[in-house]
Amino acid sequence: MTELTISLDTKSSRPLYEQIYAYIKEEIQAGGLPFKERLPSSRNLAKYLQVSRSTVDLAYEQLLSEGYIESIPCRGYFVSELDGLCFLKQETEEEKEDKEEENSRYDYDFSPYGIDVASFPQSAWRKVSKSILSEENHDYFQLGDPNGEILLRRTIAEYLHQARGVNCTASQVIVGAGNDYLLMLLCTICGREYKIAMENPTYMKAYRVLKMLSKEMVTIPMDQEGMKVDALEKSGAEMAYVMPSHQYPLGTVMPIRRRMELLRWAVKKEGRYIIEDDYDSEFRYKGKPIPSLQGYDNAGKVVYIGTFSRSIAPSIRISYMVLPHSLLELYQRRGALFSSTVSRVDQMIITRFLKEGHFERHLNRMRAVYKGRHDLLLECLKQNGILDICRVSGENAGVHILLEFVNGMGEQKAIDQAANEGVRVYGLSDYCVDIPEDIREKTTVSEGGALPGIQATVMLGYANMKEEEIEEAVRRLGRAWHSL
C-alpha cells in the first residue's frame, strides 16, 4: 500500500476533497500509482491528513465514478487498469518557463496565421446578438437541421454566387464548426478508401487531418500555375485538394488553363473529385477577386469549402461546404446522422450579420486596413535594402508575403538572425511534406524536395501588426540580414 504524501492547502478556495481527488488522479495519470496499487483506507487517509472521513470518501467516490480506482469488498480501494488510454502530458513548470522564455525572445511576430482582432466589429456583432436573443425564440435552443439552418444556408448560397461565382442551392450547403470538421464529414460521406492528393508545400493542418482520415495521402509538385496535373494523373489519386484562388503558403493563383486541366482530370474517371479550399479569397488588393473553380464545374466534381474564421475572427467557428449533387445523395444516407456542430443562436447571428450588410462593410474596412499594411510592408522592405537580397512573391492577396533569398542565405540562418533582433519570421520548409531534415541549412531545395531549385524562403504575415510595429520590425530585419 502506498503512502500518499498529499499537501493540503486549507486556505485555498478549492474544497479539500477536490485537492485529494486531483492529487490521486494526477499520480495515476503520471504512473506514480500503478495498476493494482492499493490505496489507504478512507479512515487511515483521513487520520493522516487530519480531515473528516467524509472528505476522503467524497474524493474516492469521484475517482470511482470516473473509473480511476475500483473498490473490492473487504479489501479496499485499488488503482484501475488504464492501459491503452492516452493522457495529455501535463506541462511542467520548467516547460512553461521555456515557452515563456521562447515567446519573450520576440518583440515582433510576423505570424502568417494572425488577423486584426482589434478590428472585430464589436458594436455590430453586439447589436445583432442582442436582437436575436431579445426575440425569446425557444426554438433557437433546440437541436436544429443537421445541415445548418435553412436561412443561413440560403444566405451563404446567395453570397457565394454574388461574391465568388459559386453555383449552388441552399440544399447543397452544409454548415459545420470549422474546416477540419467538414473534412472529417466529407471523408465519412465518401468513405475512407480515397487516395487524396495535395499540393506541396501546402496547408499542413488540412494535410494532417486528411492523412488520419483517408487511405493514403500523396503530394504533388507545383509549377508557376499550381498543381501539376500530369503528376496528379500518375499519382493514382482519386481526390485532389487545391487552393486555386490563393494557394497557401505560396500565394499562387491558378490560371484558367490549369483549372480546366484539373476539371478534365476529374471527369476522366468516375468517383474523382476536387476539394476547393477558398480560405481567404475576400482579401485581394490588385484587380478583382479571382472566381471560384466551382463556378466552372459543369460535371459536379468540385467540393467547395469556405469559412468565416479568416474574414471575421477565428472564434467564429462557422464554415460551410458546398457538395455536388452526386455527393449530396451520399450525404443524405451517411452524413445526415450527425447533428449540427454550430449552435442555432450563432447561426442566426451570422445570418443576420450577413443579411443586414454588416459583413460586407466589415470586409471593405478590413481590405483597406490590410492593404495599407501590405503596401507599408513592401515599402519598408525596399527602404531597408531587403529587396536587394530577397525577391517578393505571394503579394497582392491574403495577409502574408514570401521573401525568397537570392544572396545565398539559408532559411534557418535567416530565421536565427531575425530572432537575434527580436523578430519572429517563419520558414517555408515548415509547410513542405517529406523534405530532408537539413533543408533549412541549404541554399536550395534538393531535387527530392517540394520545389526543386527554389531559394531559401521565409514568410511574413502582417495582419496582426500595427503600422509602427511593421516599420520597426523591418528595420531590425534589415539590420539582421545585412550584417552577414
CATH number, domain with residue 390: 3.90.1150.10
Judgement on whether residues 351 and 415 belong to the same structural domain of the protein: no
Same domain, 344 and 203: yes
| 463 within some domain | yes
Q: Grid cell 468517383 — which residue?
A: 271
- Amino acid sitting at position 60: Y
Amino acid 238: pLDDT: 94
Does 461 reside within a domain?
yes
**What whole-number distance in Å separates Cα of residue 160 and Cα of residue 405?**
38
Number of domains in the chain: 3
Do 214 and 304 sit in the same domain of this protein? yes
User: Are 145 and 340 a contacting pair, CB within 8 Å?
Assistant: yes
Residue 208 structural domain? 121-356
- pLDDT score, position 193: 82
Domain membership of residue 388 (yes or no) is yes
* Cα–Cα distance measured from residue 253 to residue 455, given in angstroms and rounded to the nearest whole number: 20
Q: Do 113 and 138 reside in the same domain of the chain?
A: no
Q: Give yes or no: residues 127 and 69 share one domain.
A: no
Question: What is the Cβ-side half-sphere exposure of residue 301, based on CA atoms within 13 angstroms?
Answer: 26
Do residues 139 and 245 share a domain?
yes
CA 299, 302, 308, 311 dihedral sign is negative
- Which residue among 356, 375, 408 closes a domain? 356
What are the angstrom distances between the C-alpha of 435 and each of 200, 217, 365, 451?
10, 15, 40, 10
What is the per-residue pLDDT for 454?
A: 59
Residue 351, pLDDT score: 95
146 shares its domain with 44: no
- 274: in domain: yes
Q: What is the pLDDT of residues 89-116, one digit of tens each?
A: 455 555 555 555 555 679 999 999 888 8
Looking at the structure, tell me whether residues 351 and 376 fall in a common domain: no
| End-to-end Cα separation, the chain, in angstroms | 63
- Euclidean distance between CA atoms 48 and 56, whole angstroms: 11
Query: Which residues of the chain have a pLDDT value below 70?
Result: 1-3, 82-104, 287, 336, 435-454, 483-484
Written as nine digits, the cell of 45 is 487517509
Q: What is the pLDDT of residue 282?
A: 78
Q: Is residue 100 part of a domain?
A: no
The CA distance from 98 to 101, in Å, is 5
**Residue 67 pLDDT:** 84
Of 356, 385, 415, the one marking the end of a domain is: 356
